Amino acid sequence: MSWIKDIVDPQARQWEEFYRNRFQHDKIVRSTHGVNCTGSCSWQVHVKDGIVVWETQQLDYPLLESSLPPYEPRGCQRGISFSWYLYSPVRIKYPLIRGVLLDAYREEKQKANGDPMLAWANLQANKEKRKSYQKARGKGGFRRTSWDEVNEIMSIANIYTAKKHGPDRVIGFSPIPAMSMLSYASGQRFLQLFGGVNLSFYDWYCDLPPSFPEIWGEQTDVAESADWYNAKMVVDIGANLNMTRTPDAHFFAESRHNGTKTVVCAPDFSMVSKFADQWVPLHAGSDGAFWMAITHVLLKEFYVDKQVPYFIDYLKKYSDTPFLVKIEKDGSAHKAGKLLRANELEEFKDIENGDWKFIQIDDKSGSFVVPKGSVGHRWDKQETGKWNTKLENSIDNKEYDPKLTIIDKKDDVLLVSLDEFGLDNKALRGVPVKYVTTTSGEKVAVTTTFDLLLAQYGVGRGLEGAYPKDYSDKNAAYTPAWQEIFTGVDAKTIINIAREWGNTGEITEGKCMVIVGAGINQWYHQNLMYRAASMALIFVGAIGKNGGGMNHYVGQEKLAPVDSWGTIATGKDWGGATRLQQGPLWHYMHTDQYRYDGLTSKYNAVPDNEMTKNHMADDIFKSVRMGWMPHYPQFKTNTLDLSKEAIKSGAKDDKAITQYVLESLKNKKLEYSIADPDAEENFPRVWYIWRGNAIGGSMKGQEYALRHYLGTDDSIIAQDQTRTKEVKWHEKAPTGKMDLIIDLNFRMDSSALYSDIVLPSASWYEKADINSTDMHSFIHPLSEAVPPCWESKTDWEIFSNIAKHTSEVAKTHLPGVHKDIYTSALAHDSEDEIAQTDMKDWYKGECEAIPGKTMHKISVVERDYTKIYEKFITLGETARTAGVGAHGNKVDIKEQYDEMLESYHYPTETIDGKKYPSLKKDVSAINAILHLSSLTNGKLSVQAYENAEKKTGLVLADIAAGQKDVHYNYANLQESPKRYNMSPVWSGLMEEGRAYSAFTYNVEKMVPWRTLTGRQHTYLDHDMYFGFGEHLPTYKPSPKPEVFGDLTETMKTNTAKVLSCLTPHGKWHIHSTYMDNPRMLSLSRGKEPCWISEADAKEMNIHDNDWVEVINDNGIYATRAVVSSRIPKGVCIVYHTIERTLGAPISQERKGKRTGGNNSITRVRLKPNLLAGGYGQFTYHMNYWGPVAVNRDAHVIIKKMTEVII
């Protein structure tokens, strides 16, 4: 073996120091990445010679239960490539401003003798100059400038806008606070102290699953990934765990070796499919049909053919299925109506909040029961402590047994008309009813929700009507054979999976899990798909169980210490009112995408009635005046002027001012901005973007934004569609609405490229911040491994400086105390949940206009623009008096606030002789959040549960007993990962290392869900839901391209093959971040390509790596083709998000235009019924409720490029 050289001699091996030297480093700092990946991974950032050289994962997570695999290591290929950005050529090192704007401003300033305010006013008044710098947006010509100069321009623009148009024309967009809570809070705190507007993001990104508020009254609450391991059967739909939950996917892989069955539904052979026992390639977007059929089999075999005690017991306790629902006459047949209200029965007619309490039947006595725990009990004032789901009659506190079905005690069987939208059929099916006499003397038929559901799912029990013959009945919803039409999956597969699902649920008491992601949530009918899957979980008792649940992972929405953070982020500590805008409808209106949309009933299968004939824009206008949805700007009139007008007309106090505003609205003298969004007075004017790619990655209908917001080039060929009726229609839509766009960034992304001012911000290894996720139960710090590079500053410092300059400018240009009129929508987790029993429109005189009841709320807020900075850097006293809270829970923090004033360890600021806790430094603000949250301060955890006891009448404080001494500060988080406390703000129980699983608190402690009945809702009885046919779980088909309208103009000149364009989350980027770094570019194909099937490629004569244009009416982008056998025919996949900045060629199709990103082919389309408000869980809260900006139904044509000019 002469050739093998085993060398031991160290002398001969001294050269080995070559590599040893490279590995030596000076320190390791704990940080993470703020990138909305949901990872929240703890990293070791290695620093050598003062330079960040590389990162590897931390390995010191505490272990959870001994039966669970450890969390370590967490981190992925993207996170580990981050350090490139710090010193990269794409780094923003200095403040930048577009030369055209700077020149014009300087010129005006010179003309105005150095007066910046006059200069800005004149520049805005000069239409030509304004247009010329708008036209230059996105076209290069940046100049390095100074912090002084940009601070001057920004602060002048702020005050100018507040004075001229109103503060609610200054807008901020920053997404996903959980990824860097303090950075998010910086801009929001400034804007809310200013009276500006923050746009929502979770719904705008289409990450919000409206089915969660629909069913559970919850924004989103899911299991941490360790709990996947507890599941015994998992169906993964549209969540490509390997790619998108990379640090967590091992739990899924590992669970299989513990005997867990896995099924993956995805149209392509996605990466997670390799872990499946069964891969089910459903047609893209047909998952709803799959789940409806699964539930059909479950109901038949586990509820009718046999009865499973665990399932029945679960339904009785935790679902709305035993509640009575009215069956109403409808022509010759009947239809499902509203839930029977307690006050409709003589015996309960006088109880408090009787409109908001509901009825069940006691199986033993047969008498009516008003169960505890309904929303009415939540807001009862006379008799409290009955908001719980114990099986007790709220009238006499006696136990009862809910009657699930009345089939054995029925008075009659009525034929109820049920819509099936896939085949567009109406079926009449027999439903057992009982007759009751209501207070109005009417004889009303009622049934249980359970009985109604069986009819809806087509599970006959010998009842008359059009029930399916058997599983093979193709014509009847929702049989396994019926779903074949939509999914392409054999009925045998459905029956097989449903039986395994039911058996597993029965044996394990609910360890059946759905893991779901953006692949499903971004379809137009996502709420229905999610509801369909959720029903299959509820019917096997899998919600609120470890190893069970509807686990939706789309967006890093879980900000653990939300109670104290919310107060600091929104400036509520200074008593202000918050202008938090529902993003999707705002962009839909202000980018003028509504003009290109027309009637939603063209592509949304709906029943034929008056409600479904409206234009979405008109529905939005209605939702705003009804108080369902917020909209800013509020009025055509500047809200600061409006109060002056009121005072001038004689209003002496705030109440009178409010009255004046109400009267002006009633007599229509005061116009809503939403009624005329294209009028100049109603434009949004100044836009701050930070921590997000608002113009790039997240701008659905990007080309519309370029046209209507920015006033620069676009490649739209879509035309105006159906006109609005109530919203004023302008013959020509305005372009270039925005005066000034500011982007804070560490890299030149698409948003920075199109902004007027780009501010260099510190990256995630250069600042202090905190980060949490729903994937695990720890809070992680971001830390300063090196100080902010070049001239960059932390977001906290940047907005603090903007506040300072703005306050300075106000001393001259907007001094004194101003009264700002503030309108807001009816709010979730408040008494507003019981505001509207019906949809009467005061604006049309159908009812009286009562703020907070039949319409939005109106109030008066005082603003002193000279004091914004002082407020920004201190924690205001309102926090002390009002406490902090979230999700309907409150804690008193007087003791903790005073401690911050008295203890040497907390810095303070003295303003006008009064001492306040200081928030001046980022670390001080973080420590304030941690000190004041029930998640990180054990005393407050205990207090929060004690407060919950009062409302519920339950024993809960013992949950927190063991956490009382837990008290974290920022330095503690830097030492090692810390698991946060249990708090009623969240719904999972985590004692003794138990994995967090949503709603275990509700199930085990009998705490109601925040819904109408306090139970999980299978049935949604809002009028909007009846109107749009979504009151019962149902299936609506994906719209075909001809009706969706993405290709109307394109197909006039083209004959190419139409493909469904899917944009799931990709492997080499987190949204747009990381994709531009050479590491990810090298490991991918140097660009995010367009994946097509081998068959389609052949048909279109496209070869692997050819350049192609992806085209529709909304716009265009160009990329390389990837031909792959794992892509199904008829579909193309472009993993979002494509930046416009990397090698995008000039378009051949839209000649001379620069091709865009994947958002260039999308357009916002909204679902009207998601506007509903003032009604239980259908009540607004930012990022909780409202229409979401879907993008998955897009269709395109693909053309090979013959000439590529970059």
Partner 1 sequence: MDVRSQMSMVFHLDKCLGCHTCTVACKNIWTDRKGAEYMWWNNVETKPGTGYPTKWEDQEIYKGGWEKSGSGIELRGAGKRKGLLNIFHNPNLPVIDDYYEPFTYKYLDLIESPLQDVQPVARPVSLITGKPIDIKMGPNWDDDLSGTPDFARKDPNLKNLSPAEQEAMFQLEKMALYYLPRICNHCLNPACVASCPSGAIYKRGEDGVVLIDQTKCRAWRMCVTACPYKKTYYNWSTGKSEKCLLCFPRIEAGIAPACMHSCVGRIRYLGVMLYDADMIEKAASSDDKDLINSHLNIYLDPHDPKVIAAAKANGVADSTIAAAQASPIYKFVKEWKIALPLHAEFRTLPNLFYVPPLLPVMASVSEQEKSSTPQLNPIAKNWDDKWLYDTSLDSIFGTIDDLRMPLKYMANMFSAGNEDLIADKLKKLMAIRIYRRHKTVGDISAEKSATALRNVNLTEAQAEAIYNLTSLAKFEERFVIPAAHREQAIEMIESTADVKGSTGFGFLAKPARGL
Contact positions with partner 1 (CB under 8 A) in 179-238: 229, 232
38 binds partner 1 (CB under 8 A): no
Min CB(257)–partner 1 separation in Å: 5
Q: Which two tokens stand for residue 735?
A: 């372009």
> Closer to partner 1 at the Cβ: 225 or 698?
225
- Contact call for residues 628 and 841 (beta carbons, < 8 A): no
Euclidean distance between CA atoms 705 and 709, whole angstroms: 5
Give, in order, the Cα–Cα distances in Å from 386 to each of 348, 390, 612, 1039.
16, 9, 39, 45
Phi, psi of 223 (to 5 degrees): -80, 145
Q: How many CA atoms lie within 13 A of 209 on its CB side?
A: 31
Min CB(551)–partner 1 separation in Å: 18
Choose the binding region for partner 1 from 161-169, 648-656, 785-793, 1037-1045 (rule: CB under 8 A).
1037-1045
The structure tokens 């001809």 sit at 1042
Contact characters 89-118, partner 1, x per CB under 8 A: xx-x---x--xx------------------
Contact characters 709-728, partner 1, x per CB under 8 A: ----x---------------
Euclidean distance between CA atoms 1154 and 1162, whole angstroms: 17
The structure tokens 């010191």 sit at 60
Considering only residues 601 to 620 of the shown chain, the ones binding partner 1 according to CB under 8 A are 602-605
Phi, psi of 487 (to 5 degrees): -95, -25
* Residue 402, number of CB atoms within 10 A of its CB: 22
Min CB(32)–partner 1 separation in Å: 14
Considering only residues 679 to 708 of the shown chain, the ones binding partner 1 according to CB under 8 A are none
> Closer to partner 1 at the Cβ: 817 or 1043?
1043
Considering only residues 392 to 421 of the shown chain, the ones binding partner 1 according to CB under 8 A are 421
> Closer to partner 1 at the Cβ: 430 or 547?
547
Q: How is the beta sheet containing 51-57 ordered, strand by strand?
A: 27-31, 43-48, 51-57
> Closer to partner 1 at the Cβ: 623 or 761?
761
Q: How many CA atoms lie within 13 A of 271 on its CB side?
A: 15
Euclidean distance between CA atoms 1088 and 1073, whole angstroms: 12
Considering only residues 1073 to 1132 of the shown chain, the ones binding partner 1 according to CB under 8 A are 1076, 1078-1079, 1081-1087, 1089, 1091, 1094, 1104-1105, 1122-1126, 1128-1130
Euclidean distance between CA atoms 1153 and 1151, whole angstroms: 6
Considering only residues 59 to 88 of the shown chain, the ones binding partner 1 according to CB under 8 A are 59, 63, 67-70, 72-77, 80-81, 83, 88
The structure tokens 């999976």 sit at 497
Min CB(1162)–partner 1 separation in Å: 17
Min CB(238)–partner 1 separation in Å: 17
| Chosen residue from 256, 813, 964, 1200 binding partner 1 by CB under 8 A | 256
Q: Which residues contact 325 (CB under 8 A, 6 or more apart)?
A: 336, 337, 338, 339, 340, 446, 447, 448, 449, 452, 1019, 1021
Min CB(665)–partner 1 separation in Å: 38
Q: Which two tokens stand for residue 34?
A: 């703020």
| Chosen residue from 287, 500, 797, 1021 binding partner 1 by CB under 8 A | 500
Euclidean distance between CA atoms 227 and 186, whole angstroms: 34
Min CB(797)–partner 1 separation in Å: 22
Q: Which residues contact 305 (CB under 8 A, 6 or more apart)?
A: none
* Residue 611, number of CB atoms within 10 A of its CB: 18
Considering only residues 1138 to 1197 of the shown chain, the ones binding partner 1 according to CB under 8 A are 1140-1144, 1146, 1152-1154
| Chosen residue from 398, 492, 613, 905 binding partner 1 by CB under 8 A | 492
- Picking from 1108, 1103, 1190, 1191, the residue whose alpha carbon sits closest to that of residue 1155 is 1108
Angle at alpha carbon of residue 977, lines to 770 and 961, rounded to 5°: 95
| Chosen residue from 131, 274, 894, 914 binding partner 1 by CB under 8 A | 274
> Closer to partner 1 at the Cβ: 23 or 435?
23
Q: Which two tokens stand for residue 1176?
A: 């239980």
> Closer to partner 1 at the Cβ: 920 or 1085?
1085
Min CB(1047)–partner 1 separation in Å: 13
Euclidean distance between CA atoms 110 and 117, whole angstroms: 12
Min CB(321)–partner 1 separation in Å: 27
First to last CA, the chain: 57
24 binds partner 1 (CB under 8 A): yes
Considering only residues 520 to 559 of the shown chain, the ones binding partner 1 according to CB under 8 A are none
Q: Which residues contact 338 (CB under 8 A, 6 or more apart)?
A: 325, 326, 1021
| Chosen residue from 384, 417, 438, 475 binding partner 1 by CB under 8 A | 475
| Chosen residue from 55, 743, 774, 833 binding partner 1 by CB under 8 A | 55
Instruction: Kindly calculate the radius of gyration of the chain based on its CA atoms and give it in whole angstroms.
Output: 30
Give, in order, the Cα–Cα distances in Å from 1008 to each of 319, 321, 348, 984.
10, 15, 22, 12
Min CB(539)–partner 1 separation in Å: 19
Q: Which two tokens stand for residue 588?
A: 């839909």
Min CB(270)–partner 1 separation in Å: 9
Min CB(996)–partner 1 separation in Å: 19
Q: What is the SS3 assignment for 666?
A: helix
> Closer to partner 1 at the Cβ: 186 or 702?
702
332 binds partner 1 (CB under 8 A): no
Considering only residues 723 to 782 of the shown chain, the ones binding partner 1 according to CB under 8 A are 748, 753
Which pairing describes strands 233-237 and 512-516: parallel, antiparallel, or unpaired?
parallel
Min CB(618)–partner 1 separation in Å: 21
Min CB(70)–partner 1 separation in Å: 5
| Chosen residue from 169, 261, 386, 853 binding partner 1 by CB under 8 A | 261
DSSP conformation letters of 782-799 = EEESSPPPTT-B-HHHHH
Min CB(36)–partner 1 separation in Å: 18
Euclidean distance between CA atoms 1198 and 1206, whole angstroms: 19
Q: Which two tokens stand for residue 970?
A: 């920022």
Choose the binding region for partner 1 from 14-22, 314-322, 582-590, 852-860 (rule: CB under 8 A).
14-22
888 binds partner 1 (CB under 8 A): no
Min CB(1125)–partner 1 separation in Å: 4
592 binds partner 1 (CB under 8 A): no
281 binds partner 1 (CB under 8 A): yes
Q: How many CA atoms lie within 13 A of 623 on its CB side?
A: 30
Considering only residues 125 to 164 of the shown chain, the ones binding partner 1 according to CB under 8 A are 136, 138-142
